């Protein structure tokens, strides 16, 4: 059984973190103090034990900061997580630990290790090198100064954005086209009879999608894309300069080269090549989409070209006119329990699994269910996962999958079964009305369950390569692949049934959903590419990093004219929130997830043969092999964008 969360308290969380730090320091000291002949067992095995220890600790303590109903416990858990993370970072900077691992890496035994132990050693040495252990004292001092400054800049960037306030002042008469209740949510303006439209998404998106006032859409677009610009632009410029200096300290030509050393893409040139392979076909289709939207603009009496503040409005209009999908009607076919049963049936058939609910769950809340995953052939337990699917005050507000115990080989040769948790916020059943999911929520459930399967089916020998420990730009691919089943009429017919009548979802509704998904998809994808292009331009190998030039270059990709005087990067949190030189990963994972799914599309949409091959070739190795090698093994060829472009209707 996994942990018993019913007895968790703030004190128990602090206690488990204290004990982990104490035991972890003892393990590190054991490595450092050893004065005999170094081997894997006395040098690397304690590091593996340390990784396992911290995995268990996160699952028992800090994780509860996302889900506990007790505010004090959440705060304690978050503080404990910060303490645990700081301690782990400190270990990376211990010179004596680095010297011990380095000494082992130079032994004869280390040269003859099997592939997984060798990878564990190589990755450990790489981590130490990236922490600066092979730099001179002067370089390390400079590195520490730069890293500290980047933390300060990141905090300031977020603070400026959070505290920035600007509004579009409107009257009720200005809200033509807005849905009922929109005005009720707005704060009153200073002048009687006026209202304030803030720059928050719940205010901005409905306005941009529905307001018939083109002039006001332009004004709000300008305000939205100049948020905190005076404060955040210089912060961004300084951050880009500092990142480049850090890269050069490590001998890399750019920050992107430095960061991508540990990613699937390996270097920024492969990302630009990836983008260029998409831009040409997307631009051709995007031009057609722009013309179609432009005709609507002309019909409304505007004789100039489509602009950024027109896109959402006319996209919404076209969506309603041509693909009038009633989302509430669609939800009637997706009661949550039925969707879960269908998801279990399909993944069970495809991957050779079965699922059983475990009682009692001993979870952190009565709504949480616990399941075990079993191998269909042997009947052996493989993993457990918790399902926490309904909203609560103080709970994590999005959807995510959390590793609580990562799978790994135990010293006695047995395998520790992984434990994970899927956390979401679907509508809770009320009385005799079940929880009904929008189709987008069905996608979310399948997506996050893809992460659960990735964590659960691993057979990686070491914790270092288990859980979500694969290349950062590949980690979403095993969840992206899952979404494809939710667009297939044959698959949906197996579980999408009306919660009252039991009737299967009509095929015309599925066709409408797919058509609506594909509407203006080229323009939407080009916009995503433009964000990644800007990010890579700022951090990649080029002499000209002038932000205005880079922004213009990126905006040209979108096929929409630039908006003079705006600078949206000042509110583009990804650039200062850990996605620097990494924004491409969203699209990268989707393209390769679609490519993997192409085998199902070609050989059988729920083929157990393909499914079990995917399980053994991709999910079970997890991070123990390079993602590019996993793809090559499963696909039997180099990955391509053909399946992605076919899904978008660009290739047939």
What residues are annotated to the active site? 448
- Residue 51 CA, chain-centre distance (Å), reads 23
600: nearest Cα among 592, 611, 616 = 611
Residue 575: count of CB within 10 angstroms of its CB? 26
**Radius of gyration, CA atoms only, the chain:** 26
The SS3 call for residue 169 is strand
Which residues, other chains included, contact 397 with Cβ-Cβ below 8 Å and sequence gap of 6+?
391, 425
Please state the length of the chain: 652
Distance CA 649, CA 652 (A): 7
The answer to whether the CB of 401 falls within 8 A of the CB of 451 is: yes
The answer to whether the CB of 619 falls within 8 A of the CB of 457 is: yes
- Residue 476 CA, chain-centre distance (Å), reads 6
* Residue 316 burial (10 A CB sphere; 0-12, 13-18, 19+): middle
Per-residue three-class SS string for 345-380: HHHHHHHCEEEEEECCCCCCCCCCEEEEEEECCCCC
Distance CA 638, CA 520 (A): 29
Q: How far is CA 331 from CA 4, 170, 209, 505, in A?
A: 35, 35, 22, 10
Both tokens of residue 425?
């916020």
Both tokens of residue 526?
């080009």
- Structure-token match 């849905």, residue found: 179
Pairing of strands 419-423, 381-388: parallel
Distance CA 114, CA 110 (A): 9
Distance CA 600, CA 595 (A): 10
Q: Provide the b/e sequence for 447-473 (b: ≥16 CB within 10 Å).
A: bbbbbbbbbbbbbbbbbbbbbbbbbbb
33: nearest Cα among 87, 100, 94 = 100
The answer to whether the CB of 117 falls within 8 A of the CB of 52 is: no
Distance CA 606, CA 636 (A): 19
* Residue 608 burial (10 A CB sphere; 0-12, 13-18, 19+): middle
CA angle 632, 637, 639 (to 5 degrees): 75
The answer to whether the CB of 209 falls within 8 A of the CB of 320 is: no
57: nearest Cα among 80, 32, 34, 89 = 80
């Amino acid at each position: 059984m996994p942990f018993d969360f019913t007895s968790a308290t703030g004190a128990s969380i602090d206690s488990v973190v204290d004990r982990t730090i104490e035991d972890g320091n003892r393990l590190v000291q054991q490595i450092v103090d050893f004065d005999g002949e170094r081997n894997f067992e006395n040098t690397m095995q304690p590091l593996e034990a340390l990784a396992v220890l911290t995995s268990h600790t996160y699952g028992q303590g800090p994780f509860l900061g996302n889900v506990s109903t007790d505010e004090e416990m959440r705060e304690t858990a978050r503080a404990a997580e910060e303490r645990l993370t700081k301690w782990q970072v400190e270990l990376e900077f211990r010179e004596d630990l680095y010297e011990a691992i380095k000494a082992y890496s130079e032994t004869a035994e280390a040269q003859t290790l099997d592939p997984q132990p060798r990878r564990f050693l190589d990755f450990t040495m790489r981590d130490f090198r990236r922490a600066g252990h092979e730099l001179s004292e002067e370089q390390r001092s400079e590195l520490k100064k730069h890293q500290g400054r980047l933390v300060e800049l990141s905090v300031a960037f977020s603070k400026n954005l959070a505290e920035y306030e600007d509004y579009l002042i409107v009257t009720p008469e200005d809200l033509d086209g807005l849905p009922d209740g929109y005005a009720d949510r707005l704060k009153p303006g200073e002048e009687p009879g006026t209202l304030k439209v803030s720059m928050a998404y719940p205010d901005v998106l409905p306005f941009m999608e529905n307001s018939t006032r083109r002039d006001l859409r332009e004004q709000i677009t300008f305000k939205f894309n100049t948020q905190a610009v005076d404060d955040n632009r210089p912060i961004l410029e300084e951050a880009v300069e500092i990142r480049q200096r850090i890269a050069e300290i490590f001998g890399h030509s750019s920050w992107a080269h430095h960061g991508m050393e540990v990613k699937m893409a390996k270097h920024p040139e492969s990302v630009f090549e990836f983008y260029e392979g998409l831009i040409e076909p997307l631009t051709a289709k995007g031009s057609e989409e722009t013309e179609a939207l432009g005709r609507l603009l002309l019909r409304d009496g505007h004789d100039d070209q489509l602009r950024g503040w027109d896109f959402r409005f006319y996209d919404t209009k076209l969506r309603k006119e041509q693909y009038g999908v009633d989302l509430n009607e669609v939800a009637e076919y997706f009661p949550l329990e039925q969707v879960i049963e269908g998801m279990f049936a399909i993944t069970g058939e495809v991957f050779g699994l079965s699922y059983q609910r475990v009682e009692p769950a001993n979870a952190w809340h009565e709504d949480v269910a616990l399941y075990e995953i079993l191998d269909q052939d042997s009947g052996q337990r493989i993993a457990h996962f918790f399902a926490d699917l309904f909203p609560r005050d103080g709970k994590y507000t999005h959807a995510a999958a959390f590793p609580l115990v990562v799978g790994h080989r135990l010293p006695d040769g047995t395998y520790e079964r992984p434990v994970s948790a899927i956390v979401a916020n679907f509508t809770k059943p009320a009385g005799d009305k079940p929880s009904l999911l929008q189709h987008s929520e069905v996608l979310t459930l399948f997506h996050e369950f893809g992460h659960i399967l990735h964590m659960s089916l691993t057979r990686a020998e070491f914790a270092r390569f288990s859980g979500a420990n694969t290349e950062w730009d590949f980690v979403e691919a095993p969840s992206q692949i899952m979404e494809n089943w939710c667009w297939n009429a044959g698959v949906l017919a197996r579980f999408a049934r009306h919660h009252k009548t039991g009737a299967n979802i009509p095929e015309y509704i599925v066709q409408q959903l797919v058509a609506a998904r594909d509407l203006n998809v080229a323009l939407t994808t080009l916009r995503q590419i433009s964000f990644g292009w800007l990010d890579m331009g700022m951090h990649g190998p080029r002499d000209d990093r002038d932000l205005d030039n880079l922004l213009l270059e990126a905006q040209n990709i979108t096929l929409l004219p630039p908006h003079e005087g705006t600078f949206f990067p000042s509110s583009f949190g990804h650039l200062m929130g850990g996605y620097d030189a990494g924004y491409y990963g969203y699209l990268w994972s989707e393209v390769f997830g679609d490519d993997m799914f192409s085998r199902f599309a070609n050989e059988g949409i729920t083929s157990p043969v393909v499914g079990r091959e995917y399980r053994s070739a991709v999910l079970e190795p997890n991070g123990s092999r390079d993602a590019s090698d996993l793809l090559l093994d499963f696909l039997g060829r180099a990955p391509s964008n053909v399946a992605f472009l076919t899904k978008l209707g660009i290739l047939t």
